[in-house]
Amino acid sequence: MLLTKEKTAFYLADLETPVGKLINLTIAGLVLLSSGIFVAETYNIPDVVRFNLNILDNIILVIFALEYFLRLWSAEDQVKYVLSFYSIIDLIAILPSFLGAIDISFLRLLRWFRILRLIRFIDKKYLFGISSEDGVIFARILFTLFAIIFVYSGLIYQVEHPVNSKIFATFLDAFYFSVVTMTTVGFGDVTPTSELGRLLTVLMILTGIALIPWQVGDLIRRLVKTANQVETVCPGCGLAFHDADAVFCKSCGTKLQNCINTHNLKLNNKK
């Protein structure tokens, strides 16, 4: 039983083996598919299509719930896992749909936090073919901006559509409003009328102000640090830049001494 738990935990976090990659890519794809389904449901689509999309969304919900319980079951410290950031995001993603069975409709707002589950995969650079730490930071910035706009667009749509359906007729209207607001263009042709909608707009702006500069600063610090390094490709993991006096790769521990010596020899020859 212990071995089964260890294998489960391994494959849920693994990105090296084909099974681990398949599991993680499938989860990421289902997150995007689930979000896409809700976007489609904001449009005037045939009832048959809407019914089939609802069935598909319920299947995805069951998969999310199964994944959560597998992570909880295989965790070494289950209490710590339940209180972790990713666990809370997972719960927010699946719990409203189950509670919706007893008509707590306002909790459906929380379904948009499913998109935040993708944060788990951003730092796993090899999953998406990102080979450098700079690329990971840049991808994180883009994803953070997208997640803020996407999540708040969904929240604003669900709040504003019932009271302002002509302006916020579809998700695209809310998405357009969020992009215009976040980029400070502010055309004013689409504006929320409810107090909750305005509050969400303020929160969206404050969230962007708090998160985006912090991550841009992280990227700048990384670029400055990289400028003081030499290009020495690690034969183990492929990391391209290391400190000039580095002996081992800081990422995987592979010995770099031969590479560093070669680089220093080239510098001496130029002098």
State whether 197 and 220 are in the same domain.
yes
- Kindly state whether residues 166 and 117 are assigned to the same domain: no
More confident of the two residues 59 and 225: 59
Average predicted confidence (pLDDT) for the chain:
77
Higher pLDDT, 84 or 2: 84
pLDDT at 172: 92
DSSP 43-79: S---HHHHHHHHHHHHHHHHHHHHHHHHHHHH-SSHH
CATH of the domain at 147: 1.10.287.70
Predicted pLDDT of residue 174: 92
**pLDDT on residue 230:** 64
Q: Does residue 192 register a pLDDT over 70?
A: yes
Do residues 152 and 180 both lie within one domain?
A: yes
Mean predicted confidence (pLDDT) in 238-255: 71
Tell me, yes or no, whether 239 and 221 share the same domain.
no
Query: Structural domain tally of the chain?
Result: 3
Q: Torsion over CA of 118, 124, 125 and 126, rounded to 10 degrees?
A: -120
pLDDT at 184: 77
* pLDDT beyond 90 at 222: no
Whether residues 118 and 134 fall in one domain: no
Residues 206-218: tens digit of each pLDDT: 888 887 777 677 6
Give yes or no: residues 179 and 223 share one domain. yes
Q: Are residues 162 and 263 in the same domain?
A: no
Q: Give the residue numbers spanning the domain of 18.
A: 1-124
Asked if residue 52 and residue 30 are part of one domain, the reply reads yes
Q: How far is CA 196 from the centre of its chain?
A: 25
Domain ends where: 101, 124, 147?
124
Residue 190, SS3 per DSSP: coil
Share of the chain above pLDDT 90, in %: 11
Residue keyed to tokens 């708090």: 210
pLDDT at 103: 47
Q: Are residues 154 and 195 in the same domain?
A: yes
Residue 214's contacts (CB-CB under 8 Å, 6 or more residues apart) are none
Sign of torsion, CA 212 218 222 225?
positive
At 51 the pLDDT is 93
Q: Which of 99, 124, 149 is the last residue of a domain?
A: 124
Q: Do 116 and 18 fall into the same domain?
A: yes
| Pair (148, 182) in one structural domain | yes
Indicate the pTM of the whole model: 0.69
CATH code for position 91? 1.20.120.350
User: Per-residue pLDDT for 37 more than 60?
Assistant: yes
Confidence tier at 117 by pLDDT (50, 70, 90): confident
Amino acid in the structure at residue 270: K
Which of 79, 101, 124 is the endpoint of a domain? Answer: 124
Q: Do 168 and 85 have their domain in common?
A: no
Most trustworthy range by pLDDT among 16-30, 120-134, 251-265: 16-30
Q: Is the pLDDT of residue 177 over 70?
A: yes
- Range with top average pLDDT, 95-104, 166-175, 259-268: 166-175
